[in-house]
Structure 1
Amino acid sequence: MNGFTFDGVHSDSLNVVVNKKNIPMTPPISNRFQEIKGFDGAWDYGMSYDPREIEVECTIFGDGTSSMKNNARRFASVLNPRKGTKMIIFDDEPDKCYFGRVSNQIPLEQVGQMGTFTIQFTCAQMPHTYGVDLRVGTYSTVFPVTHNGMYVAKPTLTITHNGGDGAVSLTRNDGNTLTLTFSSDSPASVYEIDCIEKTMVETGSAAYQYVSGDWFEMDEGENTYEASGNVAEVTFEFRDTWL
């Protein structure tokens, strides 16, 4: 097959085939260089990744002109950007995915019973390449897990906490340990910590006053989660991640 799945709908179901696609190897890079007059070179203050854009050129077919246009309208409804960011899977890499939405008007160049068009997907909040399968684990003490990607994976943690002092830690393959610590006045509750969105929530309210420390980023290879103190149980979710 030479197509893709968007939000669970495969392009074949609407008589759409992919002619070619452009998926950059990495998201765009924003460099933070500062040049100083009279000095060679520049100070390098690092970089960050910008939203990734994916272009897909397609052809849509029908039994006749009317059929082709009806297929095009149905396909436009599937791609409706008001639905927000959705999972995109290309046939040639069925175990990898992207998260994006359409960000361009889609002109249709019609020739008889077929039409050609180019879609631009923008992957804004999640600009990297991800595993299709959501990895999930639950533990109360120690839990080793292997991250199969080649870029850091940022998990979501659901923590059942009995209140008071406690901590959750992540020891990475590179030897660094990241820790989230609960304050002595933290109430017994279920906390959700999203390390992609960088949010901490407890029963629907912000929980930054009760939890401090590091946003978890899993390294390539072996990582070990650990819970201590009054933390009763932790469930983590993440996707293997590549640039």
Structure 2
Amino acid sequence: MYTFNDTIRGTPTFNSGLEVRFGDVSLNQEMNNEDGTFFVANTTGRDVLDFHHETATIKGRDGQYLYGATYKEREIEIQVKLTGFTDLGMRKQYERLNRLLFSRKAKKLVFGDDSGRYYKAIFSKVKKPELEDANDTVIKLHFICHDPFKYTEPKTATTNKVTYNGDFPTEPILRLTTQAGSEIRILHLETQRYIRLKATYIQGPNLLVNCETREITLNGRNELMNFDMVNSRYFKLQKGVNTFQVVGALLNSIEYKEVFA
């Protein structure tokens, strides 16, 4: 059985368990207040991911043909001890929690024991207590990460070489300054993939190449009309050293997030 002390909102005077941030808000700080307490006791779903096997049955062949495998979505469950100092306080705790968990799109979900990385999660459901009117209960908050990976905040390199420490490939954002000429070519040396733009360019405009969203802009305007769709391929940073060779522009920075599972 847990013992709780009275608190001032945002400054719990007791250990509120593992800190959980959803979006830009600490659930621990918001939920430990004049109405009651909130203690994160345990989490599940932050370990090994499950695979989905893509198979086909072929007539005359034993078993099945495996033609692909992908990670399933990640499901995270947070076990919380929730209390209200009064009946009214408990109802306010539920109202507050509903407000904090409300979102129609994925938000960053961060845990205090792994604060340098975040999941893209959306709240799904709660395992309700047996006695909903009890002022001292344990609930389980269920989140789904349709993107099963976890990410670091963006990092920036200002040279043409990046040492990438993530476990899985990531799509970078490149910022460049054009030079006078008729072609810009950005080559990722390790994979031999490149992006090629054909147009008349002058010295100075800012070129942005976003490999994640497939956007290319010149001074904020769409530049995809000059994209060589036949030969160009967007690239990803691979674990280890990544080197870029650029013709027709100066590479100013490479922005990327490290990806883990």
Report the TM-score range of the alignment, normalised by the length of the smaller protein: 0.7 to 0.9
Q: Is the CA contact (8 Å cut-off) linking 1:200 and 1:208 kept in structure 2?
A: no
**Residue in 2 that maps onto 1:161:** 178
| 1:221 CA drift (Å) | 1.9
Which of residues 185, 192, 196 is equivalent to 1:181? Answer: 196
Question: Between the two proteins, what is the percent identity of the paired residues?
Answer: 19
Q: Across the two proteins, how many residue pairs are aligned to each other?
A: 232
**Residue in 2 that maps onto 1:137:** 157
Instruction: Give the stretch that moved more between structures: 106-115 or 66-75.
Output: 106-115
Q: Is the CA contact (8 Å cut-off) linking 2:174 and 2:251 kept in structure 1?
A: no
Q: Indicate the structure whose relative CO is greater, using CA pairs within 8 Å and at least 6 residues apart.
A: 1
TM normalised by structure 2 equals: 0.75
Q: Is the CA contact (8 Å cut-off) linking 1:186 and 1:210 kept in structure 2?
A: no
Partner Cα distance (1:25, 1:60) in 2? 25
Q: Is there any run of 5+ residues in structure 2 with no aligned partner, and where?
A: 1-16, 33-37
| 1:186 CA drift (Å) | 7.3
Partner Cα distance (1:69, 1:171) in 2? 59
Partner Cα distance (1:159, 1:50) in 2? 37
Aligned to 2:243, the other structure's residue is in SS state strand
Which of residues 195, 202, 221 is equivalent to 2:211? Answer: 195
- Mark the CA change 1:146 to 1:33 in structure 2 (over 3 Å): closer, same or farther: same
Amino acid in the other structure paired with 2:227: Y
| 1:166 CA drift (Å) | 1.2
**Matched ranges for 1:1-243 at <5 A:** 1-13=17-29, 14-15=31-32, 16-82=38-104, 84-104=105-125, 106=126, 108-109=128-129, 110=132, 112-124=134-146, 126-131=147-152, 133-139=153-159, 143-162=160-179, 164-172=182-190, 176-184=191-199, 190-201=206-217, 203-205=220-222, 207=224, 209-212=226-229, 213-226=232-245, 228-243=246-261
Partner Cα distance (1:165, 1:242) in 2? 36
- Mark the CA change 1:193 to 1:58 in structure 2 (over 3 Å): closer, same or farther: farther
- Mark the CA change 1:65 to 1:34 in structure 2 (over 3 Å): closer, same or farther: same
Q: Is the CA contact (8 Å cut-off) linking 2:58 and 2:64 kept in structure 1?
A: yes
Aligned to 2:248, the other structure's residue is in SS state strand
More strand by percentage: 1
- Mark the CA change 1:146 to 1:233 in structure 2 (over 3 Å): closer, same or farther: closer
Q: Is the CA contact (8 Å cut-off) linking 1:27 and 1:128 kept in structure 2?
A: no
- Mark the CA change 1:211 to 1:192 in structure 2 (over 3 Å): closer, same or farther: farther
Partner Cα distance (2:221, 2:51) in 1? 35
TM normalised by structure 1 equals: 0.80
Partner Cα distance (1:3, 1:45) in 2? 41
- Mark the CA change 1:36 to 1:185 in structure 2 (over 3 Å): closer, same or farther: farther
Amino acid in the other structure paired with 2:171: K
| 1:127 CA drift (Å) | 2.3
Aligned to 1:112, the other structure's residue is in SS state coil
Partner Cα distance (1:33, 1:208) in 2? 39
Q: Deviations over 1:126-167 (max 9, x none)?
A: 420212x3201234xxx2222122111222333443463112
Partner Cα distance (1:120, 1:129) in 2? 17
RMSD: 2.8
Q: Is the CA contact (8 Å cut-off) linking 1:60 and 1:72 kept in structure 2?
A: no
Larger Rg: 2
